[in-house]
Structure 1
Amino acid sequence: MDFTQQLWQDISPVYEAILDHGFVTELLSGTLPAATFQYYIQQDALYLTDFSRVLSQLAARAATPDDMLQFAQFAQNAILVERVLHETYFSLYAIEPETAKMPACFAYTNYLLATTSLQPVAVGAAAVLPCFWIYREVGKFIYQQAIRENPYRSWIDTYAGEAFDQSVSQMLTLTNRFAEQASVSELEAMRDAFRMSSRLEWYFWQDAYTRHRWQV
């Protein structure tokens, strides 16, 4: 079992909770209210902008040109997906852009920005990995069961697609290589970072499902 497989085994209860979450089950069945999906896409667009910054930070701090290039390509892809959200999904689902991050988005992006700027690159890689990996697995899970006429088919096809699958595989390979070179303390920090980001993935969907907003 390689290091990333160990990470996945560790967060299996979190992943099962995500699959059982009302947002995911209703997205799969096509019954998710349009207003709920609108909230989610608005927050996801804001998240992806900061996610690109996070990946750019890793590129700037990476030790080798190959790693710099890989993280830079990931950062570019995040911005391209954000543009797709604005140009395609926002139009397709009649969604207006949002400028304010709600609690889960705020917590998640700030955690990633802090981790990738203050912690070793290996820990930062583990922190960003759930956004790649969990989305791929959820996308494939939904794709295998969703009806063809699902109103959210465009979103489903994106995260179950070959291009995204390739990016996830590249990120897994990179994280495993970092783990091979990491100290014992760094490995533990990587586990903690992966676990925290996985939990924040659940909270991101929870906020969308409840359309959670700042209370005060």
Structure 2
Amino acid sequence: MSFTTMAKQAALASWEGSFNHPFIKELQAGTLDKDIFRYYLIQDHYYLKHFNELYALIAKSTTHPELKALLMENAKNLALGEIAIREDFFSELGITDEEIEHTPIAPTAYHYVSHMYRQLIEGTINSAAASMLPCAWLYQELGDTLITKQSPVPIYQRWIETYAGVEAQEHIQQERALLDELYAASQPDEQTQMIEAFVISSEMELAFWEMAYQKEQWYKNQ
């Protein structure tokens, strides 16, 4: 059984939880509170900034030519696509640089990013790459699922369209195939690390929706 098949099976509960979370259900139905979506976008701004940096750091650290090329392409695509589209969302919703700067980073966003950085320090290059996959893969599957029913709120529909389509599917298949190859060539201890890194990231994806839905804050800020 391939790495990505085993990893997704191990993370199935949190994966299904993301599809069934009220944030996702209400976003498609058009009933999601705009303030919740705004909070999500602000926290995601922090997350994507570091996610892009992690692509670059892992690419710089690896000697595997295919992994280096894929991660550098991911960083480029993220900057030109998802991050650029977010700027339009910020403008439409009146999210200013000042608001972003003065909104504390929520615990879940902080912990998720910290988990991926930790893979570079205490894990391996392969486990670091594995920790990055759930975000792109889950969003691609969410996009393909949600696109089948039009959201009545235009900005929510544009968010869905960001992640749907054949191009996104093909890129995820390429990334999955490479990680399957890296896993097969790894020692058992590293294989375990890769599975664990993937599962934790999947659980953090589910926690991220809840973080936004509850407008999660540190205790000192509540």
Aligned partner of 1:85 in structure 2 is 86
Query: Is 1:181 aligned to residue 182 of structure 2?
Result: no
Aligned partner of 2:23 in structure 1 is 23
Taking a change above 3 Å as real, the CA distance of residues 42 and 161 of structure 1, as seen in their structure-2 partners, is: farther
Structure 2: how far apart are the matches of 1:65 and 1:186? 19
Taking a change above 3 Å as real, the CA distance of residues 174 and 147 of structure 1, as seen in their structure-2 partners, is: same
Contact kept? 1:28, 1:145, Cα under 8 Å: yes
- Deviation sequence 1:178-214 (CA, Å, 0-9, x none): 1111111111111110110000001111110011112
Structure 2: how far apart are the matches of 1:129 and 1:155? 19
Structure 2: how far apart are the matches of 1:170 and 1:117? 26
Taking a change above 3 Å as real, the CA distance of residues 161 and 116 of structure 1, as seen in their structure-2 partners, is: farther
Structure 2: how far apart are the matches of 1:167 and 1:102? 30
Structure 2: how far apart are the matches of 1:96 and 1:168? 32
- 1:105 is displaced (CA, Å) by 0.7
Structure 2: how far apart are the matches of 1:93 and 1:194? 33
Matches within 5 A, 1:6-21: 6-21=6-21
TM-score (norm 1): 0.92
Aligned partner of 1:126 in structure 2 is 130
Structure 2: how far apart are the matches of 1:94 and 1:164? 29
- 1:150 is displaced (CA, Å) by 4.8
Query: Is 1:165 aligned to residue 149 of structure 2?
Result: no
One-letter amino acid matched to 2:48: L
Aligned partner of 1:43 in structure 2 is 43
Q: Which 5+ residue runs of structure 2 have no aligned equivalent?
A: none
Matches within 5 A, 1:72-151: 72-80=72-80, 81-86=82-87, 88-97=88-97, 98-99=100-101, 100-147=104-151, 150-151=154-155
Q: Which moved more, 1:44-53 or 1:136-145?
A: 136-145
- Deviation sequence 1:122-172 (CA, Å, 0-9, x none): 111111110111111111221123346554111010011333333322221
Aligned partner of 1:52 in structure 2 is 52
- 1:49 is displaced (CA, Å) by 0.7
Contact kept? 1:29, 1:150, Cα under 8 Å: no
> What SS does structure 2 have at the residue aligned with 1:168?
helix
Aligned residues: 215
Structure 2: how far apart are the matches of 1:209 and 1:153? 18
Structure 2: how far apart are the matches of 1:49 and 1:149? 26
Structure 2: how far apart are the matches of 1:11 and 1:170? 20
Taking a change above 3 Å as real, the CA distance of residues 108 and 203 of structure 1, as seen in their structure-2 partners, is: same
Q: Which moved more, 1:1-10 or 1:152-161?
A: 1-10
Structure 1: how far apart are the matches of 2:195 and 2:59? 21
Structure 2: how far apart are the matches of 1:189 and 1:47? 22
Q: Which 5+ residue runs of structure 1 have no aligned equivalent?
A: none
Contact kept? 2:29, 2:152, Cα under 8 Å: no
- 1:7 is displaced (CA, Å) by 1.1
Q: Which moved more, 1:168-177 or 1:140-149?
A: 140-149
Higher RCO structure (Cα 8 Å, ≥6 apart): 2
Aligned partner of 2:202 in structure 1 is 198
Taking a change above 3 Å as real, the CA distance of residues 68 and 195 of structure 1, as seen in their structure-2 partners, is: same
Alignment RMSD (CA, Å): 1.7
Contact kept? 1:49, 1:79, Cα under 8 Å: no
